[in-house]
Structure 1
Amino acid sequence: MSFSKAQDLVRLARLAATRRRGISLAEICEEFGVSHRTAQRMTEALEATFPLADHNDGEDRKRRWTLADPDLDKLQLRNETGLEALEIAARHAETEGRLRHAKALTDLRDGLLHRLPRDKARRLEYDADFVLSSLGQVTRPGPKVRLNPDLLDAIIESLRGLFRLRVRYGNPDAPHRILEPHGVLLGHRIYLAARDPAKSAEIRNFRMDLIFEAETLEDGFNLENDFNLSDYAARSFGVWQDPDQFGEVIWRFAPEAADRAAGFQFHPHQILEPQEDGSLIVRFFAAGWLEMVWHLYQWGDKVEVLAPEPLRRMVQDHRRPDFASMP
């Protein structure tokens, strides 16, 4: 067996041991970038190498492999990339003011190093630090929101236990209101997606920097039926939610901008339609016309709004022909 195959086998063993439901053939294909037949051979090697490896068929008729081995932690692969990823994520969380998450990520990083022999840990940390020193942070204009750690802790506790949250919103002297948090949206601003049952059953976005006080209550609540934060976020182009603006959006990029536009993800559910004249039509369903305008302005006269009509009117008189480059 080659060294790379041995490493893959150890990694497969750890995945089988750490995933609650085990790992299926389809997931092995995706994780390792291999064919279905190769994935089958890998599971055969797993069962032959690890006596405690087992498989079972779930309700979805998919076979999954599991491994219960108390000594598996001794099989630690050298993982500079994992260490780098944890450090980058911790720095990003600290920059966003998510100090609780930054500390948790740093603890995971330290735990990874602690389980290694000292000389290997020192070498791994040195290699990771060298890579990190070569990565630069691009500074972009925009608000840098600093959140109160105690406030963020209260919101996370509320989300974790599905407890109601008592807040002051808008200004420090505002009357208390009770919210039912459904998730947090991270973007150029950070928003709490929550329901205010005293006012409406509709989920709304609340700017986190305008929450001046937050207390987790002991009262529980139920999430809105079939609520999915990704689907909820996809209803807007940025973060602004306006049911009156929600609908199909159609943009046409000029031939000279088509290749550049094709490299953008304007929306998670976008549809790209290359045209015979070389132009590109982009379609998706979302709200938030103002945030769309802020982005469209950067393309000058290289983009045309076909729908909706109110958005077309907002953009039409601001399509400049003299921008030296596109986004």
Structure 2
Amino acid sequence: MSYAKAADLLRVAEMAMSRYDGISLSDLTAEFGCDHRTAQRMMRSFETVFTQVDIVEDADRRRRWRMPRLDHRWLQAQGVRDSELVALDMAIKRAERDSAPDEAQRLNVLRDRLLAAMPSSHARRTEADAEALLEAQGFASRPGPHLPPDLTTLGVLTEALRAPWTVALTYLGADGTPTERVLEPYGMLLGIRRYLVARPVDGDGQMRRFRLDRIRGARITGTSFTRLADFDLARFSAKAFGSYHAESEFGPVVWRFTPETADVARQFVFHPDQMVTDEPDGALTVRFSASGHVEMAWYLYQWGDQVEVIAPDALRAMVAAHRRTDFPALP
């Protein structure tokens, strides 16, 4: 057996051991980018090498492979690779950059726990190799404006999301007027500003976004609630171009990038649901549905006169007077 195939089988064992319901052939095709037949051959080899594997059928009559998680020596034998430690270190730095210190702290705890499970010589060598690799990759926190979070408020909201509990808080309106709110929290949106996605207890049942920098005196009420089973945070966030959402603005958005900038624009994903069309003259047209005209205008300004807003009319009017011709570089 080649080294690569042996490494693949060890990865399959990790997957089968870490997932409660085991793994299926579709999991393998997604993980290794292989076809169904290759996945079948891989699992036949896996069954030969790992005789302790448990094979069951799920509700859809698909075979699933599970491995017992009884031997702690498996982790020590596998160890933590320097590239894996670098990935974890980079995730910590991204969390710190995105004003998510609670996530950064939890990732640091996980990092320490993994290294503590390793023999000291292995852990020291891995840390040294990871530090050198991280330096070679040149990763650094991105400079730029951001709002440092209130760690007390962040801790309360994180605990409420985990339970889940309703939270009582004071929320400052755009004019600074405070109002008392009791909310059912559903998630947070990251960006230059952080938003809490929540449903007011005494409201119309609709989800709202609340800026964390306007929240004062958050506390857990001790009252639990049942989350809406059909609510999807990713789908909800896709209604906005950035962090801000307004139902009155939501609708089709069409941008046309000039032939000179089409290659650059093609590299971007402007929205998860976008549709891209190459025009006969070499231009690029991008279509999606979202709200947040002000955030769109802020972003489009960077492209100067190299992008034209086809729709909506309100956004086209907003950017018409600000399409610069003298920008020396594209985003």
How far off its partner does 1:175 sit? 4.9
How far off its partner does 1:194 sit? 0.8
CA separation of 1:25 and 1:201: change in aligned 2, threshold 3 A: same
8 Å Cα contact 1:300/1:321 also seen in 2: yes
8 Å Cα contact 1:98/1:149 also seen in 2: no
In the alignment of these two chains, the number of paired residues is 326
The answer as to 2:291 corresponding to 1:260 is: no
8 Å Cα contact 2:301/2:319 also seen in 1: yes
How far off its partner does 1:21 sit? 1.8
Taking the aligned partners of 1:47 and 1:280, their CA distance within structure 2 comes to: 50
Q: More deviation in 260-269 or 80-89?
A: 80-89
2:75 match: 73
What secondary structure does 1:244 align onto? coil
TM-score normalized with structure 2 length: 0.92
Deviations for 1:245-298, whole angstroms, at most 9, x for unmatched residues? 000101111111111111000000000010111111100010001111111111
Alignment of 1:150-189 (within 5 A): 150-170=152-172, 174-189=178-193
CA separation of 1:279 and 1:77: change in aligned 2, threshold 3 A: same
TM-score normalized with structure 1 length: 0.94
How far off its partner does 1:154 sit? 1.3
Pick from 200, 205, 208 the counterpart of residue 209 of structure 2. Answer: 205
How far off its partner does 1:87 sit? 1.5
Report % sequence identity. Answer: 41
Q: More deviation in 240-249 or 310-319?
A: 310-319
Pick from 309, 319, 327 the counterpart of residue 323 of structure 1. Answer: 327
The answer as to 2:284 corresponding to 1:280 is: yes
How far off its partner does 1:140 sit? 3.7
The answer as to 2:169 corresponding to 1:141 is: no
4+ runs of 1 displaced by more than 6 Å? none
CA separation of 1:73 and 1:141: change in aligned 2, threshold 3 A: closer
How far off its partner does 1:77 sit? 4.5
Q: More deviation in 93-102 or 7-16?
A: 93-102
Taking the aligned partners of 1:98 and 1:259, their CA distance within structure 2 comes to: 34
8 Å Cα contact 1:47/1:54 also seen in 2: no
Q: 1:59 is aligned with what amino acid?
A: A
The answer as to 2:225 corresponding to 1:221 is: yes
Q: 1:136 is aligned with what amino acid?
A: F
8 Å Cα contact 2:256/2:308 also seen in 1: yes
2:85 match: 83
Which runs of 5 or more residues in structure 1 are unaligned? none
Taking the aligned partners of 2:106 and 2:322, their CA distance within structure 1 comes to: 46
1:195 match: 199
8 Å Cα contact 2:184/2:199 also seen in 1: yes
Which runs of 5 or more residues in structure 2 are unaligned? none
CA separation of 1:213 and 1:96: change in aligned 2, threshold 3 A: farther
Pick from 243, 247, 251 the counterpart of residue 243 of structure 1. Answer: 247
The answer as to 2:31 corresponding to 1:27 is: no
